[in-house]
Amino acid sequence: MNQATTSYTSRSPVEGAASASNMLRELVAAMPIVVLFKAIRAAFATR
């Protein structure tokens, strides 16, 4: 029980927040690529 609590606290909330912000950053980085891809597909569809 005590071991589980210490292992949980060793993975600090800050670390969790950092990984979440990393995931968000990757999502934001991938977003323009998705938008560009959709724009290209739309351009080919209109031709």
Give 18-41 pLDDT, tens digit per residue: 888 888 999 899 999 999 999 999
Residue 4 one-letter amino acid: A
Examine the pLDDT at 2 and tell me if it is beyond 80: no
- In Å, the largest CA–CA distance within the chain is 66
Residue 46: pLDDT band (50, 70, 90) is confident
pTM: 0.42
Locate all alpha helices (DSSP H) within the chain, ordered by sequence. 2-10, 13-46
Give the domain ranges of the chain.
Answer: 2-46
Residue 15: pLDDT band (50, 70, 90) is confident
Altogether, the residues listed in the chain come to a count of 47
CA distances from 18 to 24, 39, 44 (A): 10, 32, 40
